[in-house]
Amino acid sequence: MSVLVGKKAPSFKTKAVINGGDIVENYSLDQFIGKKTVVLFFYPKDFTFVCPTELFAFQEKLKEFESKNVALIACSTDSEQSHWGWLQVKKKNGGIKGITYPILADIDKTISMNYDVLFGNYDVDENENISATGPMIAFRGLFIIDKEGIVQHQLVNHLPLGRNVDEVLRMVDALHHHEENGEVCPANWQKGKESIKESHESVASYLAKQ
């Protein structure tokens, strides 16, 4: 598993469904450079069970992400048509109607491969026959990318393990606090709590208060 933290986020252009039903071409993260923090999260498959709980959990916090100047974007290895179809189905029937943030179509699996969250690999035998090991879908990967396009946070869960959206918001707050104040955020830090200047005296003072 590659660690992308501190590196430029892999670039791509792909089809996406935006606003709950509009299919667009050549969707790219480049549009946010210098403008917004990006939260890009991968999920395994459309029309499944844990995935819609995550998608709706992120939707419920969408306004909070937007208030922090964050672009929230989802991605799976399904096609844009599959995304569109799932978005037309009501929640009570197993669909995700009501999701409005972009959902990227990574049908050729290159985005998942470049972010190293693809569950499986392609193999070529001595006869040049191609086979796949694993289901070839995305793990539950999540990346926080700063305005300069640099990955600042990376989290990858196995398929059965849903994520905590509040923790993603906490990490966004921590990143923004560091960017704005130059201070570092200790364990369990929450927005509005004390942070630490990078000096032994500051750390000692902080620990003494705990």
Catalytic residue annotation: 51
Q: Terminal CA-to-CA distance of the chain, rounded, Å?
A: 36
Tally of CB atoms within 10 A around 135: 13
Kindly give the residue spans of alpha helices, DSSP state H, lying in the chain.
Answer: 50-60, 62-67, 80-87, 110-114, 165-181, 200-209
For residues 67 and 103, give the distance between their C-alpha atoms in angstroms, rounded to a whole number. Answer: 20
For residues 134 and 118, give the distance between their C-alpha atoms in angstroms, rounded to a whole number. Answer: 9
Q: Which of 129, 127, 144 is nearest to 29 (CA)?
A: 144
Q: Which of 68, 43, 41 is nearest to 147 (CA)?
A: 68
- Per DSSP, 108 falls in state T
Contacts of 8 (CB under 8 A, 6+ apart): 149, 150, 151
